Amino acid sequence: MAKTLDKVDVVTVGVGWTGGIVAAECAKEGLKVVGLERGERRGTQDYQRIHDEYRYAIRYDLMQDLSKETITFRNTRKEKALPMRQMGSFLLGEGLGGSGTHWNGWTFRFLPYDFEIRSMTEKKYGKEKIPDGFLLRDWGITYDEMEPYFDKFEKTAGISGETNPLGGKRANDYPTPPMKKTPILQMFEKAAKDRGYHPYMMPSANLSETYENPDGQKIFACQYCGFCERFGCEYGAKSSPEITVIPTAEKTGKFEVRTNANVVEILKKGDKVTGVRYVDTVTRKEYIQPADVVVLTSYVLNNAKLLMVSDIGEQYDPDTGRGTLGRNYCYQMNAGATGFFDDQMNTFMGAGALGMYMDDFNGDNFDHKKEDFLHGAGLWITQSGSRPIASNPVPPDVPLWGEEFKKASIHYYTRTLFVGGQGASLPYKENYLSLDPTYKDAYGLPLLQMTYNFTDQDRALHKFATERSAEIMKDMGAKEVVPDNVLTDYDIVPYQTTHNTGGTTMGDDPGTSVVNNYLQHWDADNLFVVGAGNFPHNSGYNPTGTVGALAYRCAEGIIKYSKNGGSLV
């Protein structure tokens, strides 16, 4: 029998960026907060002297144990969904800090177009520009309304960057200057500017200088070691929850983290939630944590699953179009071109977000009248550090094994660059999340089932972004340019990006969204759900900056709710 604990004001399910932000803001207001984290507690000291590519980048030591919980996947409803047995297309973080521990630090604001994508598209191109079957809609909030929350997140994280010339208006510059503009980045910058484009230094959570944030937390300057993505930072130079918002929450004396606490059910009575039930993953004992407010701050897939197994909200049905839970699942399209050069370059040093970006083909920054796709892609280059196990680039005519391969991979290790295109993903009626009818996790709960495939929209955008990337790479002086292969069906096996979005979308209509623009659940006003699952579509950017901004919006809503109750919209 589950043991019932003392009631608290707020309980968060997951303690990464979103859980940490909510905890810090609520605890500063005097609310008693408990954060339930199913993984272990780690800190920067745990990563010292462990630049172990095999352990972290290949064997995924910071990631979720798929033998206990995974997802099932299929491309279409006609197929049988099968479990994902090992990490592939995306990486699910686990432990204090969540994905914010192993991220690379790219920290963008979505464009004004993203938040009002349907109304802006219809106004400029007409309703006929939106293809049949696409569930495109506005977010129920505008960029101008989001701007203060973006600003707050960037100041908390100390983001290093320079203003995007094609982005939304900013109230303030980034809190720290951009990172070093290396010779590799200068090559990209010149090639892009010569074509009339607008490249800028990528906004980075790998800080260019030591910085103290408004809460008094110190983040140190990046050492350019090249071990960012899939790794924790032993220098404390990559902004992550465990060196920013989590210690801020803890120093209030109002916040308690409980690790190894896996939440298996949201408890509900009438039109309110009353708390959560969780399992201690070490002792296997069950506990009930009552709370006035429950906040789902886990990863996209886990938030959606927890609502489904708790029977909160109406599951999306692709046949009828009814239901909102699991709807609008989106991913991201990645394009690009590889260039092989004669001269050596320093490719082995770098940082996760040491790079340049350009938005000339992102959002609606270019005319789509003649294009057979909407939105676009950000084009980029990074110098993130070429680690030896995973970095064996060779031209396509070289065998992938044997003496010739070894010789070529050593030669091109410092003579290869990649220009990428990170493309938007638009919601399609056949791409969604649900519960699997067959497979269960280690706790007896159904696995989450993902039904997803790329669309013709994705394939057209991929072709376009690949061609633009190859043009820039050629202008950079590559002796051989190899564009990415044509996009076919989505394959969950090779790594692509951990930019899963949708399933618990926000909006201004309970008929098409799960939560309102304070991330408050339409069916239970003391339940909040925050993360990239709130995105009605995915943009041509990394999601973390927008997720962080939404977490501050959510925290503001919880504080308002704690005083007055009721719906916030």
Q: Are 55 and 75 in contact (CB under 8 A)?
A: no
Q: And the tokens for 278?
A: 């969780």
Indicate the angle between helix axes 143-157 and 544-564, nearest 10 degrees. 100
Report how far apart, in Å, the C-alpha atoms of 385 and of each of 170, 247, 389, 395, 416 are: 31, 30, 12, 20, 12
Q: What is the DSSP string of 145-206?
A: HHHHHHHHHHHHHT-B----TTS---SS--SB------HHHHHHHHHHHHTT---EEPPBSB
Cα(220)–Cα(125) distance, integer angstroms: 47
DSSP per-residue codes, 360-395: TTSTTSS--TT-SSSS-EEEEEEEE---TTT-----
Residues facing residue 506 across a β-bridge = 515
Distance CA 256, CA 34 (A): 5
**Catalytic residue status for 499:** yes
Q: What is the DSSP string of 79-135?
A: SPPEE--S--SS--B-STTTHHHH---B-PPPPHHHHTHHHHHHHHH-GGGSPTTB-
The one catalytic residue in 102, 499, 521, 537 is 499
Task: State the Rg of the chain over Cα.
Answer: 23
- Would you name the residues annotated as active-site residues? 499
